A and B are shown apart, each in its own frame.
Chain A
Amino acid sequence: MRNAVQLLVLSLSLMFATGARADYYIIVNASNPQPALTISEAVNLFMGRSRAFANGTLALVFDLPRDSPKREGFYRKLTGLSLAQITSYWSRLMFSGQNLPPQPLPDEATMAEIVKRNPNALGWLSTAPTDKGLRTVLVLKDSP
């Protein structure tokens, strides 16, 4: 009985630990020559300040849909801004004709599939990619 309680406590701890963690994985196609991204490079690409990878290749940046519950956490982690601030920021760029926000894809499975098929693609997932056609260039870790 005591072991069962210990197991239950351990399981719950792991469950809550896993649930509380919200790491985000910024991914590229496995053939992309960009070895890794710094936070500021990722911010520049996802916020439209930069249009290309370090080697000059134009980046095709993808996002999850506007109503995805995971976007708030991703952008908070990446930029420190709320979704309203992100929308406000993009409305400045978009409606002054400078740039468009990352193209939204329906879900993470589609994101992984599109990035796997396009050498210039950049996207993000909420779980570590397992497909060999994808490579993680930056992990946004949950703060301890």
Chain B
Amino acid sequence: MKVPSRTIAVVVAIVTTAVSLGTGVCVADATGAGSDTFHVSGFGTVGFSQIDEPAGFAYTRNLGEDRDKSHFRADLDSRFGLQVNYRPTDRVELVAQAVASRLDPAASAADALELGFAAYRPDANWTLRAGRVNLDIYLLSDYRDVGFSYEFIRPPVDFYWQTPASLDGADVSRLWTFGDVQWKTKLYGGRTTEGTGGDLLVLDQIFGIMVSRESNGLLLRANAIRAKFGNTLGVEQQLMDALQSLDSLPQPAVVAQAKALASDLQPSGAELRYLAAGLQYDRHNWLFRAELDHFAVTRLPEGNYAAAYVSAGRRFGDVTIFGVESIAAASASLFKAPNWAQSLAPFGPVVAAQAQALASEAALAINSLAGRQHTTSLGARWDLTPQLALKTQWDYTHTDAIGALHWWGATTPEAANVSVVSVALDFVF
């Protein structure tokens, strides 16, 4: 498994720091005050998957992973995470968490740092945090790397694929407890990035609110977010530069079409409105989850998107069996490239052909936003010990003729079927 060396360096640095500071174990101090200072913990997954997919497809569990097109893979779910908590006082806490996994080669070292924040708790119910904090938009989004904490081998990919896990900014949360009922609300703001290179998703000026209610095994959570796109969406800068170079052509219709295409490919500054709601029930050996979200982009309706999933599981002692049905669909229809070859024929066959190739490339980039896919999953989890679980899962995904949403290499708008069989060992320590 190729892990960026900088990722390894971050993890090694955290381990070394933790060890040198006297790792681990939270022990009551000699005075009996009982305040633990350092707490080192970790998690990991060793997983293997057999992927039956059309040639050219590359399955990833989220946006930032390496786009390996192999059929048998050990890097899809395998990862190792380490976390250090430092509590100098009862009210102050510093937290750092790094995760080593096989990321896209263009990923930066900072992508390995999942959490890195300072928290201040003026009392038992208020928490203020600043730094790289978790972004709990969805039920599993802020601990999606910790396989031991949920029954699936990976959170439903149709739903979680492009979810940012952390936020560079700050949040403030308040807790209310009324008997068995607990309400929590959180306001947060900042910036986040997910993915790499031409597929980097940058969201600036994020402002969001989360409200949750938990009682007797039933958790309800809702999120509303407004943010601004801070970059291009799924396209190289040179494609937009090439479209803008057509400004000099004495063909007003072509120039207007080129400007419209460039605008569609450059959502920077467009506003994102994001709504999500989730339900989780875990009681009497039954486990249900359901989530849905809606993602709307001003000035770029091709970017509008919705996804949902439902899952049900039943525990039989240490074994849990489960099933999941998920769907993701973009509202965009297929965009047809303008016929510039005909409009620009008077400028000669070479210019006309180059312009037509540019139009086709731009249409392909816009159509990468379109797609619809749904997945059926069945699986089982066996808790071997209180810190070790063995899982197996089968996923069957169908992508519609409009194209796949969450598959690298699936740019050709055609229907396809993909099946993934996985086995994983999850642990925490």
Chain B binder among A9-17, A20-28, A97-105, A136-144: A97-105
Q: Is A70 positioned at the interface, with any CB of B under 8 Å from its CB? A: no
Q: B83, B383, B386, B387: which contacts A95 (Cβ < 8 A)?
A: B83
The reply to whether B179 and A40 contact each other, CB–CB distance below 8 Å, is: yes
The reply to whether B148 and A118 contact each other, CB–CB distance below 8 Å, is: no
Q: Is B380 positioned at the interface, with any CB of A under 8 Å from its CB? A: no
Q: Is the interface of A mostly helix, strand, loop or mixed?
A: mixed
Q: Which residue of A lies closest to B42 (CB)?
A: A95
- Shortest Cβ gap from B82 to chain A (Å): 10
Cα–Cα distance between A121 and B90 once the two chains are bound (Å):
13
The reply to whether A84 and B124 contact each other, CB–CB distance below 8 Å, is: no
Cα–Cα distance between A86 and B133 once the two chains are bound (Å):
24
The reply to whether B177 and A50 contact each other, CB–CB distance below 8 Å, is: yes
Residue of A92, A95, A104, A117 with most partner-chain B CB within 10 A: A95
The reply to whether B121 and A84 contact each other, CB–CB distance below 8 Å, is: no
Q: Is A56 positioned at the interface, with any CB of B under 8 Å from its CB? A: yes
Q: B35, B85, B143, B175: which contacts A91 (Cβ < 8 A)?
A: B143
Q: B36, B83, B149, B386: which contacts A103 (Cβ < 8 A)?
A: B36
Q: Is B182 positioned at the interface, with any CB of A under 8 Å from its CB? A: yes
The reply to whether B143 and A96 contact each other, CB–CB distance below 8 Å, is: yes
Chain A neighbourhood of B31, CB < 8 A: 117
The reply to whether B32 and A117 contact each other, CB–CB distance below 8 Å, is: yes
Q: B34, B36, B85, B180: which contacts A121 (Cβ < 8 A)?
A: B34
Q: Is B97 positioned at the interface, with any CB of A under 8 Å from its CB? A: yes
Q: B43, B85, B123, B214: which contacts A100 (Cβ < 8 A)?
A: B85
Cα–Cα distance between A87 and B32 once the two chains are bound (Å):
26
Cα–Cα distance between A129 and B70 once the two chains are bound (Å):
61
The reply to whether B389 and A84 contact each other, CB–CB distance below 8 Å, is: yes
Q: Is A31 positioned at the interface, with any CB of B under 8 Å from its CB? A: no
**A95 and B35 in contact, given A40-B179, A52-B124, A88-B149 (Cβ under 8 angstroms):** no
A 49-60 binary contact with B (CB < 8 Å = 1; else 0):
111100010101
Chain B neighbourhood of A92, CB < 8 A: 143, 146, 149
Chain B neighbourhood of A97, CB < 8 A: 95, 97, 115, 117, 119, 129, 133-134, 142
- Shortest Cβ gap from B290 to chain A (Å): 18
Q: Which residue of B lies closest to A49 (CB)?
A: B182
- Shortest Cβ gap from A9 to chain B (Å): 35
Cα–Cα distance between A58 and B124 once the two chains are bound (Å):
6
Cα–Cα distance between A72 and B385 once the two chains are bound (Å):
12
The reply to whether B39 and A100 contact each other, CB–CB distance below 8 Å, is: yes
The reply to whether B386 and A66 contact each other, CB–CB distance below 8 Å, is: yes
- Shortest Cβ gap from B342 to chain A (Å): 56
Q: Which residue of A lies closest to B95 (CB)?
A: A97
Q: Which residue of A lies closest to B182 (CB)?
A: A49
The reply to whether A114 and B34 contact each other, CB–CB distance below 8 Å, is: yes
Chain B neighbourhood of A84, CB < 8 A: 318, 383, 385-387, 389
Q: Is B50 positioned at the interface, with any CB of A under 8 Å from its CB? A: no
Chain A neighbourhood of B41, CB < 8 A: 94-95
Q: Which of B12-45 contact A (CB under 8 A)?
A: 25-28, 31-36, 39, 41, 43
Chain A neighbourhood of B383, CB < 8 A: 82, 84
Q: Which of B175-198 contact A (CB under 8 A)?
A: 175, 177, 179-180, 182
Cα–Cα distance between A88 and B214 once the two chains are bound (Å):
17
Cα–Cα distance between A56 and B145 once the two chains are bound (Å):
34
Q: Is B270 positioned at the interface, with any CB of A under 8 Å from its CB? A: no
Residue of A62, A87, A96, A110 with most partner-chain B CB within 10 A: A96
- Shortest Cβ gap from A91 to chain B (Å): 4
- Shortest Cβ gap from B11 to chain A (Å): 15
The reply to whether A118 and B34 contact each other, CB–CB distance below 8 Å, is: yes
Q: Which of B49-101 contact A (CB under 8 A)?
A: 81, 83, 85, 87, 90, 95, 97
Q: Is B428 positioned at the interface, with any CB of A under 8 Å from its CB? A: yes
- Shortest Cβ gap from B168 to chain A (Å): 14
Q: A50, A58, A95, A104: which contacts B143 (Cβ < 8 A)?
A: A95
Cα–Cα distance between A52 and B25 once the two chains are bound (Å):
23
Chain A neighbourhood of B136, CB < 8 A: 96
Taking A49-B214, A114-B28 as known contacts, 17 extra A-B pairs with beta carbons closer than 8 A to each other, sorted by chain A number, are: A44-B177, A49-B177, A51-B121, A86-B386, A87-B386, A91-B146, A94-B41, A95-B81, A97-B117, A97-B119, A97-B142, A100-B39, A100-B85, A103-B34, A113-B32, A114-B32, A118-B34
Which are the 7 A-B pairs with shortest beta-carbon distances? Answer: A52-B124, A117-B32, A84-B383, A83-B386, A51-B124, A96-B142, A91-B149
